[in-house]
Structure 1
Amino acid sequence: MAEAPLPAIRSLPSWLLGRAAARGRALVAEALAAQGMKMWHHVVLSAVRDLAPVAQADLGRGVGLDPKDLVGVLNDLQSASLVLREPDPKDRRKNAVRLTEQGERMLQRCEEVACAANAELLEPLSEEERERFLEMLVRVSGTRETN
């Protein structure tokens, strides 16, 4: 059997992390799709829960989504009765976004299936290895753990 091409590239941490990230995204996307949701829907619902009521512009900056793309996501979510856009109580010229009860239930389902998908991703690791791996990922990614 022939050796896989590019052994030097395929052994780089950046390559391996990219492959693991792609697998993780695929698992989560598939789980969310079974709920009729996309990744950005889940991200925006989660941010709305954490920030509500939140001005639409602040929401877009908070999740790093272009305003045009955010409008599309919010249109999808509002059409599904998952969020409401209403005049911002702090500035009536702006829209504020909040979850509906249905949006809260959908977000809970999304969180459950995303957690299950992440558990599947990390299934080859022991519980101790998972904890250590996550600690190392936080350090390598340059982000801080928030929980």
Structure 2
Amino acid sequence: MTSALQYIQSLPAWLVGRVAARGRGLVTDAIAGEGLKLAHHAVLAATAEYGPVAQADLGRRLAVDPKDMVGILNHLQKAGLVLRAPDPADRRKNAVTVTAEGVAVLGRCAALAEGANSRLLAPLAPDEQNQLIALLTRLHEAP
């Protein structure tokens, strides 16, 4: 007979959540040496992709509270990874741009995250890794 705990721990939602937490932990640990947390990394990556971008738009794109965004950008700017300047389209807003050092840090973080994900998927054969990624992508993209 299966216990209530065993039943819960066999649910796909529980299993995916536990694997996601482990993956986040591995990536968090990997990029910590660059002085970044996951939120910093996401904001830096979005700035590189969309920048120059209004600070408020960046927060909306990433669903980050404006107060939290200020703290994240303060950290990134102090580290020399982004610049904030008045937005030429609307001087009341700040536009955020990634710096050359920010691009370099993103490259290093990509390699570190790749290593962390390789550790996460190490118990699986290469074809199983590809299948898992394909299945997770289908679930993620489902309506």
Write the mapping of 1:136-147 to structure 2, written as runs, cut at 5 A: 136-142=135-141
44 and 6 in structure 1: CA distance in 2 versus 1, 3 angstrom threshold: same
Deviations 1:121-147 (A, max 9, x none): 011112211111111111222369xxx
- 1:122 counterpart residue number: 121
Residues 18 and 64 from structure 1, CA distance in 2 versus in 1: closer, same or farther, beyond 3 angstroms?
same
TM-score w.r.t. length of structure 1: 0.90
Q: State the 4+ residue runs in structure 1 displaced beyond 2 angstroms.
A: 141-144
Equivalent residue, structure 2, for 1:92: 91
Matched with 1:59 is: 58
- By percentage of residues, which structure has more helix? 2
Q: What is aligned with 2:39?
A: 40
Partner of residue 73, structure 1 = 72
Aligned Cα RMSD in Å? 1.8
Number of residue pairs matched? Answer: 142
Deviations 1:66-100 (A, max 9, x none): 00000000000001111000111222221100011
Paired residue for 1:103? 102
Which residue is 2:10 aligned to? 11
| Structure 2 residue identity aligned to 1:87 | P
Unaligned runs of 5+ in 2: none
Q: Residue 110 of structure 1 aligns to which amino acid in structure 2?
A: C
Measured at CA, do residues 33 and 143 of structure 1 come closer, stay the same or move farther in structure 2, by a change above 3 Å?
A: farther
Q: Percent identity?
A: 52
TM-score (norm 2): 0.93
